[in-house]
Structure 1
């Protein structure tokens, strides 16, 4: 094919890949806005239903319980059927479940609503990275997934802010509409996107342990990244659930103020930390193919002293320590997810991502919010949240151990 023809063929492909990244990132943003509205309105929900911290933590645990149970089935579907219609269905499912919040007038109904949203979000969270991996090769996935996962801090911050501010003025149900209606519109727009052939962007050799379910059991690069992320998720799930409540309870902030401060910390650090972590890993990979693991491991370990300072330090250092803690927590946001996607080949990628999601939530935030709530009710919220320090230490050790299993990428050749 002549060079001019090749170039003209690449332009539509690049445009399609860019459009896919934009639409999937927008859906993921709405996904996380919805997820973090509840922590932003948590004191208002507790006041209406008269429930303790353990029951509030159980709401998040129920979400992740259904989230992780849905993962294995949806991963199997993603390796056998086109991902585009599956993504559309999942986005519509969690959007409709979010709209259902207006009908919630008891704690038990809210628990059911939150569990249903988990099914839709789990499906989307598996198919989206798998589809992006078919638009971009291994060396570009850290950059692409760093952009995609910027939605975690931005969506979390907007969820906190929307929940706290809108909830203060219009009641805690009103903020949930923010994520629901746009999600339906973007899902419809996604219908017109052209889906690439599975595995079309892969450059690494599809060895047995990367391309078969039997080999996956003996894939240390996948398992160390997954277990390291699980320990990180245990800590972040608990911290994100109770951070606005912690500010409200120990810093004397109103519900709106606590949501605003938690949102500001999360969005600034999420943007800066994720961008710096993705940039650092991309540059470091040119000299060291272990960079995706190392950046993530350092992020977990360096966050520990600042998390401890948030929980037990003087009040005047609370906000600066929170900024420092979340900056380091978000360093591995893109690199670690890129390491997981790169650790497997296209034939089993959706299944592997579903297994990863099942494990990081089963071992992570499916239990940590409820456990923190139980410890808070028995002692106080400071003691409850202190278990996150142990989880972050475990995360760092696992990721440093797993770095030696990382596969060399094209940029080193």
Structure 2
């Protein structure tokens, strides 16, 4: 047995021969890349403009294309998370991605616009399985000293996928037609579908003995298994249980303004820059794209690495998210208030995005750590639903409506950015709340150096053996069992 695989994760026993944590991370990174590649493809000029021309779409109808997938995503995210209580989560991932592939093929052959929209909804329903189950799997398998960093690596592929989609659609669309872009991305997904269906599946953690003993303290649950005859009742009860975890709820709501800001910056940022500084549109588009990609890659990794280094307690993660949201708020507001050149604006905007992206990995980690293990998929699904429904779905049209009234992009963007104050307050409030951390006791609140020491046995192999002094330091360091 590879000593770096299982003693760090607790996942090798009973797992297939092909499994290692890094292979599973690579699989979910590739899946995440493909589903976000599609979002870039459908918004690219090489695909979107021909669709609009072929079906003679107005702006309102055309605007349905990038958002139609949300209808399937929002519903299916909750459905998949609940189905994992009954079926193997790895197989559910394969099933969902197969639905995504079929939806992409449907887009490629759609004879009418309403068929195309329906296929976009189907793709969203398939995408939900990946978004819902990726984080629980990663938290299961990541080395204890690098859990937040692994969340950051996974989150990278959302931005990389969208950026690659713009390029992919722009390259494939003009010579081969917009339908070829959807067909080719489906072809890229077929090998993954076949692998997940026919390879021996990996098991996701479920409730095991005392692992979720704290669930018994939550009203109306009592740690009892689900009743298979009342699926909707079980779902409603599980959602109610999540609502009784205040740190989880605050983290959920606090991220919505950040997601909303990203959505509006992506949609309106280039247009605002063009009208404020009257530079070539292509230059502004490219600059915003490069800044977004570069800042997301650097900041997402550094944010996860920082939390792992200083101690990945829930309190540290929430405080860090609050601090980064505050920095993003102040720096971006300063850019739109005072920048008199495009260079200065983009410099401040890049610094602000660095701060906001740095909080993504800790936010994803808190979403998983603060709920019972069995409810992690549902928590991830609720996070997806909430961040879209109250984040990047309403903010682009709302910002456009404000701009129509004030006719000043500086004022419109300042008002949008001001909503980040909600994130600052909620994150900092969550840092002071007492809440249960559901991770194994040996992983709560330790820095990466402490975890490495914790994982060393007397013979030098990696394991979960700690000296008495280090065990005492664990409780003193994080107070994780009582206050997260």
TM-score range, shorter chain: 0.7 to 0.9
User: Residue 90 of structure 1: CA displacement?
Assistant: 1.2
Q: Residue 205 of structure 2 corresponds to which residue in structure 1?
A: 198
Q: Residue 331 of structure 1 corresponds to which residue in structure 2?
A: 358
Residue segments in structure 2 that go unaligned for 5+ positions in a row: 224-237, 438-443, 447-473, 476-484
Residue segments in structure 1 that go unaligned for 5+ positions in a row: none
Q: Residue 51 of structure 1 corresponds to which residue in structure 2?
A: 58
Q: Residue 32 of structure 1 corresponds to which residue in structure 2?
A: 36
| Alpha-carbon distance in 2 for matches of 1:202, 1:24 | 28
Range 175-184 or range 91-100, more displaced: 175-184
Q: 1:63 to 1:368 in 2, by over 3 A?
A: farther
- Greater share of helix: 1
Asked if 1:295 corresponds to 2:320, the answer is: yes
Q: Residue 419 of structure 2 corresponds to which residue in structure 1?
A: 391
| Alpha-carbon distance in 2 for matches of 1:50, 1:114 | 16
The 5 Å alignment of 1:69-84 reads 69-84=75-90
Range 380-389 or range 299-308, more displaced: 380-389
| Alpha-carbon distance in 2 for matches of 1:260, 1:137 | 37
Q: Residue 242 of structure 2 corresponds to which residue in structure 1?
A: 216
Q: 1:101 to 1:297 in 2, by over 3 A?
A: same
| Alpha-carbon displacement from aligned partner over 1:252-283 (angstroms, at most 9, x marks no partner) | 5456x555434322221111010111111112
| Alpha-carbon distance in 2 for matches of 1:242, 1:56 | 16
Q: Superposition RMSD on alpha carbons, in Å?
A: 3.6
Q: Residue 96 of structure 2 corresponds to which residue in structure 1?
A: 90
Q: 1:150 to 1:317 in 2, by over 3 A?
A: same
Q: Residue 389 of structure 2 corresponds to which residue in structure 1?
A: 362
| Alpha-carbon distance in 2 for matches of 1:243, 1:178 | 30
User: Residue 304 of structure 1: CA displacement?
Assistant: 2.2
| TM-score calculated relative to the size of structure 1 | 0.83
Range 95-104 or range 224-233, more displaced: 95-104
| Alpha-carbon distance in 2 for matches of 1:72, 1:375 | 33
Decide whether the 8 Å contact of 2:399 with 2:416 is kept in 1.
Answer: no
| Alpha-carbon displacement from aligned partner over 1:152-192 (angstroms, at most 9, x marks no partner) | 22112222333445556666555445533222222322342
Q: Which has the larger radius of gyration?
A: 2
| Alpha-carbon distance in 2 for matches of 1:367, 1:341 | 26
Decide whether the 8 Å contact of 2:296 with 2:357 is kept in 1.
Answer: yes
Q: 1:157 to 1:196 in 2, by over 3 A?
A: same
Q: Residue 149 of structure 1 corresponds to which residue in structure 2?
A: 155
Paired residues in the alignment total 407
Which secondary structure does the structure 1 equivalent of 2:141 belong to? coil
Range 77-86 or range 318-327, more displaced: 318-327
The 5 Å alignment of 1:91-130 reads 91-103=97-109, 108-130=114-136
| TM-score calculated relative to the size of structure 2 | 0.72
| Alpha-carbon distance in 2 for matches of 1:410, 1:202 | 23
| Alpha-carbon displacement from aligned partner over 1:315-372 (angstroms, at most 9, x marks no partner) | 3334323422321221011110011001112222222222222222222223223333
Q: 1:117 to 1:253 in 2, by over 3 A?
A: farther
